[in-house]
Structures are given as structure tokens and as C-alpha cells.
Amino acid sequence: MKRKSIFVAAFAAVMAAATSVGSAWAYFTTYAEAQGGYTISLGDETRVEEEFSDWTKHIAITSAEGSEPAYIRVKAFSGSQYTLVYSDSAGKWEPGEDGYYYYADIVEGGQTTEPLDVRIEDIPEDAQEFNVVVVHESTPVQYDGDGEPYADWNIKLDSGEVEGGSE
């Protein structure tokens, strides 16, 4: 009889606990909160296209078909061994204070920028190899309260880098 009483008491305790699980679960699902988040845009892509001739890299950035309108900026690095001189025959690239060159126009999906030329100078006559890294970034076009477009470089649409070859 004592065994049966223990069994009944244990069964009653389990049933009492089971009835409170539902309300505890409801508390956690009802009152749980989350903050923050990240905007994810899939399918937007830009790529650098480089041609090399006469110690000059001719750089153009192409926005993939279907990508949202974007602003583009480019910067080249060569270390301290070479001097890089930027030029732009179309007048579309503007130097920034941060060392980047900014494309003046909005680049729509499927469009390509005018070329930015980066000439490599101070090359020793016996130079067999060189390394120039081109970094480009894009940011989606933002609009202010008056509907005017602007670039916010804290929002990156796409960024990438391509290393130059040797000649």
C-alpha cells in the first residue's frame, strides 16, 4: 500500500509539473524580443576589368545585369617600390581625400564605367615583376529627403580586389 501511495504522489507531482510547462513555454515565446538586423541584398555584383599595356593598367568596373544602381570607387596599391599616377581621359573619375578615385556618375545594372588609367612609374630597367593590387567598392544609391541621390560609403554593396600580373 505504501508503494502505491508513493507511485500516486509521484504521478501527481509529474502531472503538476507538466501543467506548468505550457505556461512557462508560453512566457518564453510571448515575451522574447530581438533587436538589430542586417539588410541582405542578393544578386548585386560589380567586377573589375583590367587591361595592361605600356606600364599602364586600364581599369573599368562593370555592374552585373539586374544589379541596383550604385556609386563606384577604386584605389590601387603597389607598395613603396613604384609610383602610381592616375589619369582619366573621359573626366569621370574624381580623386578623394582618402586615396580612392570616385566615379562621378551612377552606374546602373549592366553598365560599365569609363576607364581609369593607373600608370606605373619609377620602374627599374632590370624589373622582371611588379605587383599592383586594385581594390574597388560599390555602394547602393541613397536618396535624401528632397529626392537627391548620394553615396553612403558605410553601406557596401560589393567590394573586391584583383591583383595585377607581371610583364
Residue 156: the pLDDT is 76
Report if residue 157 sits inside a domain: yes
Residue 104: the pLDDT is 95
pTM: 0.66
Residue 5: the pLDDT is 77
CATH classification of the domain holding 93: 2.60.40
Instruction: Quote the domain boundaries for residue 99.
Output: 46-163
Report if residue 35 sits inside a domain: no
* Cα distance between residue 60 and residue 51, in whole Å: 9
Please report the DSSP string for 104-122 in residue order.
Answer: SS-B-TT-BPPPEEEEEE-
Measure the N-to-C terminal CA separation of the chain; round to a whole number of Å.
97
> Is residue 151 within 8 Å of residue 117, measured between CB atoms?
no
> Is residue 52 within 8 Å of residue 37, measured between CB atoms?
no
Number of domains forming the structure of the chain: 1
Coil/strand/helix, residue 39? coil
Residue 7: the pLDDT is 72
Residue 99: the pLDDT is 92
Report if residue 9 sits inside a domain: no
Burial of 44 (0-12, 13-18, 19+ CB in 10 A): middle
Residue 167: the pLDDT is 38
Q: Which helix (H) or strand (E) holds 9?
A: helix 2-31
Residue 161: the pLDDT is 42
Q: What is the mean pLDDT of each run of 10 residues along the chain (167 residues)?
A: 73 70 58 53 76 89 90 88 88 94 94 94 71 88 92 75 40
